[in-house]
Structure 1
C-alpha cells in the first residue's frame, strides 16, 4: 500500500500532534478526515492547509467521551467518503485525541480518573470498534500513547495507566485484525512542545531546558517530530511492523 490516494482519519487533529500528523500525511499525498471537539476555526485552517497541498480534506466534530455519538459519527464518515471520494472505506485510523488530568496519586479524584478513562481508553476502544467496518482491508491503525508508560513523572499515574492499557489493546487488535491485513501499532511520544496540559512543556523555558537535558538528543520534541513518525509507520515501507510500541522521545531518560 502506498500513501498516494489513501485516506486517513485522525482524531483531535485541529492542533498539536494531530495537526502536525495531518499536515505531514497531506504532504505525503494522503487525503484527510480530521476531527475536532472544539475550536472549529482551527480545524478549518488544517483543512485549508491540506487543500493548498493539493489534498481533499474534511473536518467533522467528535467528542471521544461520548460513546453514544459514535454511530452517528460513523454515518457522517460514510457520507463524507461517498460524497468526497466515491468510496466506502478509508485506509488509516490515527487515535490521537486526548486531554490530561495531571494530579498526584493521592489527590486524583474519581471524576478525573473517569475522564482519563473515557477519553484515552473507552473512547479509543469503542470508536475503533465502530469504525472498523469502514477501514479498508490492508489498512493501518496507530494509537497514540506516551513515554510515561516507560519512565515515571509525578502526577501522571491515571493518564499513564490509561495509555498503558491502550498499548495492551494495540497488541490484541493486531492479533484479531490480522486476518484482514490490518496492522496496529502504538506511537509513544516523549516530552513534546504543544499546548497539551496548558502548554506546560511548550511555554515554560525552564521546563523545556530541564526535560531537554534528560534527552539524549538534548532537546524536547516538536509536534512535527511525531507527525513524521506516524507518517513513517503509515508509509509503503513499514507494512511489516505490527503490534509494536514505537517510542519517539529522542532518547529520554536512557
Structure 2
C-alpha cells in the first residue's frame, strides 16, 4: 500500500485529494494547523470507506518544528502501517491574500513566502529520510503564475518559485527515482474561496467567462488529478507543471 502525506488536508483541495487517494487504496496522513475537527472528519470518512488514515498537527511556517513532526510521522507510520517510510508528499497547505503591489506589507509578503515556498522547501528536506525510493512529490502551485491577476503578485511570485523548485527537486532526487511535479489549479471553488465568490457573484461569473468550459471548478476536479498523478499509472510523468483549470484564459 502506498502511503501519502498531504499538508493542509483538513479542507478544500487537500481534503478532496485525501479522499480521492483513499479511493485508490492509498494510506493517508493529513496534516492540519488550525482546523483539527476538519482533519478528523476527513479521517473518519476514509475509515468509513474501509481505508486507513491519520491526522497530525503541523504548521508549515514553523520550520523549527519540522524535526518533531518527522518523529511524530515516523511513529504513526510504524503504529498504523508497520512502515518506516512513505511514498508520496503533497505540499498543499496555504492561503490566499489579494492586495495590489503598492499596498502589500512586509508581514503579508513574508507570510505568503513562508507557507508557499520556504515551508515546502524545508519540509521536503526534513522528510526526505522517510521517503521511500520511487516516491512522488506534488507541489500545489497556481494558474496565477501563468496569467497575471491584479492583486495576486506576492502569492503568484511564491507559487512561481515553487514551480521552479519542483524541477530542481526532480533533478536532484532523480537518483532515488523520486518524481516531482506541480499541479496548478485555475479558478476553483473551495472552502477558502467560497466566501469571496458568494460575496461577489460577478467575480465568479468573470472567471467562468474566462474559462473555456464556461464555469469554475470544484475541489474534486483537482483532487482526482492529484490522486491520478500519485498512482503508478502516471509513473513516467516528472518535472512538469500540470494546470487544472478547464482551459483558463487561453
TM range, smaller chain: over 0.9
Name 1:164's counterpart in structure 2. 160
* Secondary structure, aligned partner of 1:59: strand
Q: Specify every segment of 5 or more residues in structure 2 that has no aligned partner in the other structure, as ranges.
A: none
TM-score normalized by the length of structure 1? 0.96
Question: Is 1:248 aligned with 2:244?
Answer: yes
Shift of 1:64: 0.5
CA distance in 1, matches of 2:86, 2:141: 22
1:1-254 paired onto structure 2 within 5 Å = 5-196=1-192, 199-201=195-197, 204-254=200-250
Contact 1:194 1:201 in 2 (8 A): no
Give the number of equivalent residue pairs.
250
Contact 1:193 1:202 in 2 (8 A): no
CA distance in 1, matches of 2:148, 2:164: 18
Shift of 1:199: 3.0
CA distance in 1, matches of 2:34, 2:166: 27
* Secondary structure, aligned partner of 2:133: strand
Q: Structure 1 residues 103 and 198, CA, compared in 2 at 3 Å: closer, same or farther?
A: farther
CA distance in 2, matches of 1:49, 1:67: 30
* Secondary structure, aligned partner of 2:182: strand
Shift of 1:202: 5.9
* Secondary structure, aligned partner of 2:220: helix
Q: Specify every segment of 5 or more residues in structure 1 that has no aligned partner in the other structure, as ranges.
A: none
Shift of 1:203: 5.8
Deviations 1:16-55 (A, max 9, x none): 0000100000111111110000121111100000101111
Contact 1:144 1:188 in 2 (8 A): yes
CA distance in 1, matches of 2:242, 2:122: 23
CA distance in 1, matches of 2:204, 2:100: 21
* Secondary structure, aligned partner of 1:196: coil
Stretch deviating more after TM superposition (188-197 or 216-225):
188-197
Q: CA RMSD in A?
A: 1.1
Shift of 1:200: 1.9
